[in-house]
Structure 1
Amino acid sequence: MKNVFSFLKPYKTSIILAYIFMFSELMIELLLPLFLGLMIDQGVLQEDVGKITMWGGIMIGLAALSLIVGVLNSFYSSHVSFAFGFDLRQKLFARIQYFSFKSLSNYPTSALVTRFTNDIRQIQNMIFMALRIMAKAPFLVLGGVTMAFIVNARLAMIFLLTVPLLILFLFLVMKYASKMFSKVQANVDHVNRVMQENLAGMRIIKAFGRRNFEEMRFMGANNDLAISTKRTFRFVESTMPILLFIMNLSLIFIIWFGNIQSLAGNAAVGEVVSIVNYALRVAMAISMFSFIIIILSRTKASAERVNEVLTLENESESEYEVDRTHDNIEIKDGTVEYRNVYFQYPASDEIILNDVSFTIQSGETLAIMGATGSGKTSIFQLMPRLYDPTKGKVLIDGRSIDSYPFDTLRDSIGYVPQNPLLFTGTVRDNIVWGKIGATDEEMIQAAKDAQIHDTIMSLPKQYDTRVGQKGVNLSGGQKQRISIARALIRKPKILMLDDSTSALDLATEARLLEAIEAYNCTIMIITQKVSTARTADRILLMDEGEVLAVGTHNELIKQSRLYQQIVESQHGKEYAHVE
């Protein structure tokens, strides 16, 4: 948690000012009962209008001053809490950008969103309350008890018994409540995850008629959250009656004993009134403790969750700083070699790639084919170092990819994933996203080569047409071609297409592949279409993480029974035997 609250350091001056104004307000609040008692003893009981006017004027002046310092305290408290939240969100977002796929797989999107919203907002609220009233409450108790002893020690003795007992009780409550609020936050994550999945999959839910099932699933998650929240708040709120009961007993005893002392001449009426006022302030401050416990317990749980992300050991970030002596090297040819590569996903014993070796010469096109789960996409993920091989090496231009700085490596790669992702914004925004400072000419050329320019020009606002979240207002083929244009605008040395033409008709795909040849880059394309694969210089056939065969279409037709079966399934037996 120290790591989270270290973001308060730039605001030390504002924090100090907030506390100065808070303690000024506290001192005024502690002086008012004393002056009230003096006004009663010296003015009211003595029927001295001058004393009443003097003490009353002082109290009105102090009340006005209390208002001013209270407003200033609120201003600086708000400034610190909101600036802290801004900085923490920025840092958390920047941290996530460096996450490896291994780190991202440990945190569902909904859990990260909850940290950005609920958790940081909870910490912000705690900081504001800490600067405004939370720190004031214990000092009000301490100051109230001290002032009561100054006024009349005999009457104030009751505080020595009740206050320590209540503080111990509250400490135990806070310790247990913190664990309960951690469970509440975990249930919030679950609700967010179910909601996010439902909204993302609304079309398929409607298509399968699974509305009732999804409603029941959300009801289960929502019910768990409601139960844990109610149980937690009931536990914390139950402390309030106990606190008030003990403090009211103390107040009754003070009034009863004060009356006896006043009648005996051992205490003035004003002293009794002052101590009763201090008792009321102490009771009010202690009654706030249950509220403070809720805030501190929830904040502790939230701060731990945020800190978990901030302090997470990040493989990508640490590797990014390794070996800066290679900063000036560039990828010139785009020759690719996978040398005895083994790979398995983190926290998994299953071997995804098993001794994979192949080479692609500069400017060549390699088509990768194989059944679902054969390791095709895993081969792609190793190239830009989304993951690193468990064993073996991936080389570009004869140099291991871990010797290239990440910027150099990834700027030289145009990667189009299997499921194209478009961002909310315009078509223009999504294409030029692939290259910083891209010109309109470059954007239009990339769109033309991706066979999407004519379609864009038919849209209502052409390149300035807004794209819905994840491209919901575009067809699958349109999204694929915009994603390809985003990769082409980089003019990459290595272009990687992960089944990115599956939604295109044969004619459009043929024009696309022909246009890509002009980019003079090394091309790796995962495909299930024989018509696409046969246009490549070579075909890599994968099965269960191993390379079964590498060759041209005609070579594999002769040598590989699996490739013959693939061709037969798409074009018939006669086609499978034509050279």
Structure 2
Amino acid sequence: MKELKHLNKYFIKYRYRLLIGIVITIIARVFSLVIPPYVKNSLAAVEEYLKNPENDPSIVRGQLVEYILIIIAAALLSGFFTFLMRQTIINVSRYIEFDLKNEVFRQYERLSLNFYKKNRTGDLMNRISEDVGQVRMYAGPAIMYSIQTITLFVCVIPLMFYSSSKMAMYTLIPLPILSYLIYTISKIIHKRSTIVQEYLSKLSTFTQESFSGISVIKAYGIENRINAELEEIANDGKNKSMNLVKVNAWFFPMMILLIGVSNLFVIYIGGRQYINNEIDSIGVIAEFIIYVNMLTWPVATVGWVTSIVQRAEASQKRINEFLKEVPQIRNNRKEASEIGGNIEFRNVSFTYEDTNIEALKNVSFLANKGETLAIIGKTGSGKSTVLDLVGRLYDVSQGSILIDGVAIDQLNLYNLRNAIGAVPQDAFLFSDSIRNNIKFGKEDATDEEIIEVAKKAAVHKNIMDFNKEYDTVLGERGITLSGGQKQRISIARALIKDPEIFLFDDCLSAVDTETEEEILNNLQKAANSKTTIIVSHRISSAKNADKILVLDEGKIVQQGTHNQLITQEGYYKELYLNQLSEKEM
């Protein structure tokens, strides 16, 4: 159970609730223990009357009524405290589930982009949902039933020996056998539980990717192939689950068999003792049968709880794998950092860890506050990497990046990112209203501010054409909008943030040239005193920049203004002439 030690901090946090739950559990079981002796006394009273029929029957009736009322009262009190027990311990398990999910989610937020390149979304989702759910069963039902079992064993077994040591000895013979079988089967359950959880992650990943890529699946007409692949994965998962179920299936029949053997011992040994006058009443046999049956569920839960613990151990191990991941990008400064907007690259080189591709090679440039820097280059030349490094999504392999003369890794990470308004190449919108997607850049934005930035992004008219206008709820990843509309809403989201640094990553590729010109003019006004870096394949997006860099295979091969570069032989002039001729055509 070493992996489950991670939960100890939550048990400490909710220790008082747990302690109250434990006390209530013990009280509930103690009240239930009142019933067997009074059943014995009731039978003894009837037996005594049958032996001496001349006794006053009203006395027997009075005794029986008294005993029955005590039994009913004990049962009601036991039931009431059992209800309270569930309201305390099970509630604690829900609190722990809530805290653990939040802990995992916060860790997901802290982890760097490399982590997400190595792990699939389905697996991430499965660990925060299915695996945490398995752990909750350990933090609630497993603890509750374990306390019940321990309480009953501690109380019932001494009572059994007190009533008849010989009968108790024979009755308890099956329990050590049961303990050994549980130990043996538990090891198998642990291994198979881990395999089942891994297959659930695999299935979640496959279905998540299929739903996200449904348009591609339909476009290529490969529904049948995807169905066949899903069926194969599902059958594999089913087989693994069946292997686990087959082991679990041994528990309850085994419990019933061993409890049945105990009952047979009670009846046989108790009957012989009664015949031999070793016990004074047949009520002792009835009392023992109740004790044995009271132990039936606790003994059965030993197996069930063991199974829960094994599954929780396997799940917590998977959760801990991610919780132990150390983020590559850390906040090295706790104090606040003022971000002005002067950006300098000094001999920066960067290699992607997952692909070993050297994206930037000895890149140096300076972008002062209020300036616009454009980066042009072929696909894969390292343009987007520059923006990722400015946002410190990665740390440089060599060289240094300075913001206002301070090394970027010595700035407060959250202040840095709060000072950046980024529009990625692949515009991502949430499954929410257009208004809330824009407000993502500024939570307390007014409707007037939202409309103003939407107009600057040249998307206001499109939004007003929708039935619900700004209250239009978008599909997943903004699938209900065109590529150009998604890009422009993303631009509006960045503008409303009013940051010190704008990062635009080819964010006008899906709009026509006229709309592009309108947006660029608006951006120039909005970012007048801001530092702006624009990555683009279009000369039209870069021509008005204060400085233009041309990247090729991670190196700066040209730099200057638009007027300077169109007079130099090279990639920029060639691209300019090609796009100029396309525009004329």
Alignment equivalent of 2:85, drawn from 73, 81, 87: 73
Task: Name the CA shift for 1:351/1:69 in 2 (closer, same or farther; >3 Å).
Answer: same
Number of residues of Structure 1 aligned to a counterpart in Structure 2: 569
- Pick closer, same or farther for the CA change 1:543–1:134 going to 2, 3 Å: same
The runs of 5 or more residues in structure 2 that have no matched partner are: 51-59
Aligned to 2:116: 104
String of CA shifts for 1:458-516, please: whole Å, max 9, x gaps.
Answer: 32233233223321221110110010011111223221111110101011101111111
User: Is 1:540 matched up with 2:549?
Assistant: yes
C-alpha deviation, 1:560, in angstroms:
4.8
| Other-structure match for 1:397 | 404
Aligned match of 1:276 in 286, 289, 295? 289
Which residue does the alignment assign to 1:335? 342
- Please, what TM-score do these two structures have when normalized by structure 2? 0.90
Most deviating of 346-355 and 415-424: 346-355
Give the secondary-structure state (helix, strand or coil) at the position aligned to 2:356.
Answer: coil
Q: Does structure 1 residue 7 correspond to structure 2 residue 10?
A: yes
Task: Indicate the SS of the match to 1:540.
Answer: strand
Q: CA deviation at 1:307?
A: 3.4
Matched, 1:82 2:94: yes
Give the direction of change, closer, same or farther, for the CA distance of 1:171–1:143 in structure 2 (3 Å limit).
Answer: farther
Query: What SS does the aligned partner of 1:189 have?
Result: helix
Matching of residue 412 in structure 1 with residue 412 in structure 2: no
Q: Distance in 1 between matches of 2:80 and 2:289?
A: 27
C-alpha deviation, 1:547, in angstroms? 2.4
Deviation per CA, 1:65-116: give whole Å up to 9, x if none.
1121122212223332222222333333333222222333344222222233
Q: 1-side partners of 2:46 and 2:9: how far apart? A: 52
Aligned residues of 2:349 and 2:396 also touching (Cα < 8 A): yes
Does the Cα contact within 8 Å between 2:171 and 2:265 map onto a contact in 1?
no
Residue aligned with 2:33, SS = helix
SS in 2 for 1:267: coil
Deviations 1:104-153 (A, max 9, x none): 33442222222332222333333331354342124334433322111100
2: CA distance, partners of 1:51 / 1:442: 83
Q: Matched residue of 1:467: which SS?
A: coil
CA gap 1:560/1:138 in 2 versus in 1, 3 angstroms: farther
Letter in 2 for 1:117: S
Task: Indicate the SS of the match to 1:80.
Answer: helix
Answering whether residue 379 of structure 2 is matched by residue 372 of structure 1, we say: yes
* Displacement after TM superposition at 1:553 (Å): 4.1
Preserved contact between residue 15 and residue 131 of structure 1 (Cα < 8 Å): no
Q: Distance in 2 between matches of 1:355 and 1:398?
A: 19
1:253 equivalenced with 2:257 (yes/no): no
2:311 aligns to what? 298
Shift of 1:279: 2.2
Give runs of aligned pairs for residues 456-535 of structure 1, distance below 5 A: 456-518=463-525, 519-520=527-528, 521-535=530-544
Distance 2:547 2:345 in 1: 15
Q: Which moved more, 1:336-345 or 1:551-560?
A: 551-560
Change (3 A) 1:158 1:566: farther
Offset from partner CA, 1:385-441 (integer Å, 9 cap, x none)? 111112211112222222321232122211101111112222221112112433333
In the alignment, does 2:237 pair up with 1:225? yes
Distance 1:574 1:486 in 2: 30
| Contact 1:22 1:131 survives alignment (8 Å) | no
Point out the more displaced range, 431-440 or 15-24.
431-440
| Offset, 1:206 | 0.7
Q: C-alpha distance in 2, partners of 1:49/1:24?
A: 30
Aligned-residue offset at 1:574: 13
Bigger shift: 57-66 or 160-169? 160-169
Q: Percent identity among equivalent residues?
A: 31
**1:113-128 equivalent positions in 2, closer than 5 A:** 113-128=125-140
Q: Which amino acid letter does the alignment assign opposite residue 11 of structure 1?
A: Y
Q: SS state of the match for residue 423, structure 1?
A: coil
Give the match's secondary structure for 1:539. strand
- The one-letter amino acid of 1:157's match is M
Q: Does the C-alpha gap of structure 1 residues 45 and 569 become closer, same or farther in structure 2, counting only changes over 3 Å?
A: farther
Alpha-carbon spacing, 1:98–1:164, altered in 2? closer, same or farther (3 Å): same
SS of 2:242 mapped into structure 1: helix
SS at match of 1:489: helix
Query: Within the alignment, does 1:344 sit opposite 2:357 as a pair?
Result: no
Report the counterpart of residue 313 of structure 1 in structure 2.
326
Is 2:57 the counterpart of 1:43? no
Q: Secondary structure at the match of 2:358?
A: coil
Give the AA of the match of 1:385: R
2:422–2:494 CA contact under 8 A, matched in 1: yes
Q: Report the alpha carbon displacement of residue 62 of structure 1 after superposing the two structures with TM.
A: 0.9
Distance 2:427 2:493 in 1: 11
C-alpha distance in structure 2 between counterparts of 1:444 and 1:58, whole Å = 74
Shift in Å at residue 178 of structure 1?
A: 1.7
Does 562-571 or 225-234 show the bigger shift? 562-571
Matched, 1:236 2:248: yes
Counterpart-to-counterpart distance in 2, 1:208 and 1:563: 37
C-alpha distance in 2, partners of 1:263/1:73? Answer: 43
Q: 2:23 maps to what in 1?
A: 20
1:160 positional shift: 4.8
Q: Deviations over 1:220-253 (max 9, x none)?
A: 2212221111110111212332333333223223
Equivalent-residue separation in structure 2 for 1:560 and 1:272 (angstroms): 106
Aligned to 1:146: 158
Q: CA deviation at 1:556?
A: 4.0
188, 193, 213: which is aligned to 2:205? 193
Q: Is 488-497 or 462-471 further displaced after alignment?
A: 462-471
Q: TM-score, normalised by structure 1?
A: 0.91
RMSD over aligned CA atoms reads 2.5
| Matches of 1:574 and 1:420, distance apart in 2 | 26
Structure 1 contact 81–124 (Cα < 8 Å) conserved? yes
User: Aligned AA for 2:370?
Assistant: G
Q: Does 1:176 align with 2:163?
A: no
Aligned residues of 2:193 and 2:314 also touching (Cα < 8 A): yes
CA distance in 1, matches of 2:154, 2:191: 29
5+ residue gaps in structure 1?
none
For the structure 1 residues 346 and 43, does the alpha-carbon distance in structure 2 shift closer, same or farther, using more than 3 Å as the test?
farther
Give the Cα–Cα distance (whole angstroms) in 1 for the partners of residues 414 and 264 of structure 2: 73
Aligned residue type for 1:13:
Y
CA positional deviation for 1:528: 1.6
Quick one: distance in 2 between partners of 1:367 and 1:161? 83
C-alpha separation in 2, matches of 1:77 and 1:44? 43
1:207 deviates by 0.9
Residue 453 (structure 1) shift: 1.9
**1:218 aligns to what SS in structure 2?**
helix
